[in-house]
Structure formats: structure tokens, C-alpha cells
């Protein structure tokens, strides 16, 4: 992949406020949100020297944050959009993560094809962890955005929920971990698809914008071939009654003492 690290038109560099890491983002495209930050914190207890895959890596935000928060050995980011994959690759270089983070420009569904170009790396039953922030909306549902990058990031255009879980099952070792962020309204479908793909739901955390609001995000951990036992973690609230970040969110962002 091209390693020209110059900024392109409409791009900016944002400070991630951890390990001096930064990220390149397209101001006109899909920029990462708090869901990716929360998921990286939810998954921060992955074991040391873990080998991981980030399905639908986008800007590379999840992989970069996990490199900062964990002692993972290697994470591979899979991204279908070539220009977005190129941008993530330049962020990888910007943060000197070439040894720990690698980008593959491909559709996640192609991982199941044993003749794909990265088949010698993306092997069946060979990863400790899969993490993913997949598109939340089904095709032809919700508000349609004319920006193709945003459309692909938000809607199941190139792969659907079951595709992500089928690929996770393929990649994970026995007892390997899946970490996902999604929308609560699809929880029943998510849990059903996880079980169908032999990934047992083990932890769920609901995320609320405020105490008096309904949850708008759900964090889920699953274990491949795990035993049945589901823990509902205490809820996470993003804003307090004054519209400020709660102490839990400030801690996740590393700002609790600032």
C-alpha cells in the first residue's frame, strides 16, 4: 500500500490525547465518534501479546487506540474502501505503528475465501481477538447520506451483520474474544447471529446519552465456543444533567484530572 504520508485535500490531523497518537481524518467523510472510543476501552483487557483483527477498520481509530491501551502484539485492520484504507495506513505510519498495525484493503467477506491474497495471514482459528464497529443500519433503512464514504460506513452495503460475525467465527481461536459496538434496537438480532456463529455472548453494557434518556449504544463481548453465562455490566452514561461528560467518560478519555 502507498506510504505517502502527506495530507490530502479535506484532510486534517486530530490529536487522540493518548501516547501522543494522532489520526488523519477526512473532514468530508466519516469521522470516528465516541462509539469507537468506548469500544476500545471496553476491549482494553485483551491479553498481552494478543493477535487481533479489526473488521471494518475505517480510519484505523480502534486499532490505534488498542495499540495505545494494550500490549497486543499485532492487529490487522480490514477496510473495503481503498482511499479510507490509504488514510488509515498513513495514520499508522504517522504514529510509528508499522510493527504492530497493518492495513489490508479488502472486503471482510473475502477473508472466507481461502485463495484471497492475505490468506497466509488471515488464517482460520488463528486470532485471539476480533474487534468491530460495523455499519449499524440495514440497507434501505434510516437516513440515506449522499456521501458514499458515509453511506458505506453507516449502512450494510458491502457486508451485513451476519457477515461480520461469520468472519469473526472463522478467524477466532477456540475461546477467542469478540468485541463489538452496535445499536440496542438490533440486540435481539445480534445475539441470535452470535449464537448461530458459535460466539457466546458474555458481557453487555448499555450506553446512555444521559440518565433520563434511552440507551443509544450497546457494547458486547462474546467468546467463541464459550459456555452460557451472560453478565450485564452497569450502565455507562455519557453526559451528566448539566450536559458535561460524566466522570466515567472523562476517565476513558484520560481527562479526569484535567
Distance of CA 77 to the CA centre of its chain: 9
pLDDT at 2: 44
CA 2 from chain center: how many Å?
23
State the pLDDT at residue 122.
97
Q: What does each of the 258 residues of the chain score in pLDDT, given as a tens digit?
A: 444 557 877 889 999 989 999 999 987 777 788 999 999 999 999 999 999 999 999 999 999 999 999 999 999 999 999 999 999 999 999 999 999 999 999 999 999 998 999 999 999 999 999 999 998 877 655 555 555 554 444 544 678 999 999 999 999 999 999 999 999 999 999 999 999 999 999 999 999 999 999 999 999 999 999 999 999 999 999 999 999 999 999 999 887 665
The predicted structure's pLDDT at residue 223 = 98
pLDDT for the residue 28: 75
For residue 32, the model assigns a pLDDT of 81
Supply the pLDDT for residue 156.
Answer: 47
**pTM (2 decimals)?**
0.90
CATH H-level, domain 11-199: superfamily? Vaccinia Virus protein VP39 (3.40.50.150)
Domain boundaries defined on the chain: 11-199
At residue 141, the pLDDT reads: 55
3-class DSSP state for residue 237?
strand
What per-residue confidence (pLDDT) applies to 33?
A: 86
Amino acid at each position: 500500500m502507498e506510504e505517502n504520508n502527506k495530507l490530502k485535500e479535506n484532510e486534517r490531523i486530530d490529536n487522540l490525547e493518548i501516547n501522543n497518537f494522532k489520526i488523519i481524518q477526512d473532514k468530508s467523510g466519516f469521522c470516528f465518534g465516541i462509539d469507537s472510543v468506548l469500544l476500545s476501552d471496553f476491549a482494553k483487557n485483551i491479553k498481552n501479546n494478543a493477535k487481533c483483527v479489526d473488521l471494518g477498520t475505517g480510519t484505523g481509530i480502534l486499532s490505534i487506540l488498542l495499540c495505545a491501551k494494550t500490549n497486543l502484539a499485532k492487529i490487522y485492520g480490514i477496510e473495503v474502501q481503498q482511499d479510507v484504507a490509504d488514510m488509515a495506513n498513513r495514520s499508522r505510519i504517522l504514529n510509528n505503528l508499522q510493527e504492530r498495525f497493518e492495513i489490508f484493503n479488502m472486503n471482510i467477506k473475502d477473508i472466507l475465501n481461502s485463495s484471497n491474497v492475505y490468506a497466509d495471514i488471515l488464517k482460520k482459528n488463528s486470532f485471539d481477538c476480533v474487534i468491530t464497529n460495523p455499519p449499524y443500519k440495514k440497507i434501505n433503512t434510516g437516513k440515506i447520506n449522499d456521501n458514499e464514504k458515509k453511506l458505506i460506513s453507516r449502512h450494510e452495503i458491502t457486508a451485513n451483520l451476519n457477515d461480520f460475525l461469520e468472519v469473526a467465527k472463522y478467524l477466532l481461536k477456540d475461546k477467542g474474544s469478540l468485541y463489538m459496538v452496535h445499536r440496542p434496537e438490533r440486540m435481539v438480532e445480534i445475539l441470535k447471529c452470535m449464537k448461530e456463529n458459535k460466539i457466546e455472548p458474555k458481557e453487555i453494557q448499555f450506553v446512555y446519552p444521559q440518565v433520563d434518556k434511552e440507551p443509544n449504544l450497546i457494547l458486547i463481548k462474546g467468546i467463541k465456543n464459550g459456555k452460557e453465562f451472560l453478565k450485564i455490566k452497569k450502565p455507562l452514561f455519557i453526559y451528566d444533567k448539566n450536559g458535561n461528560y460524566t466522570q466515567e467518560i472523562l476517565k476513558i478519555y484520560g481527562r479526569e484530572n484535567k
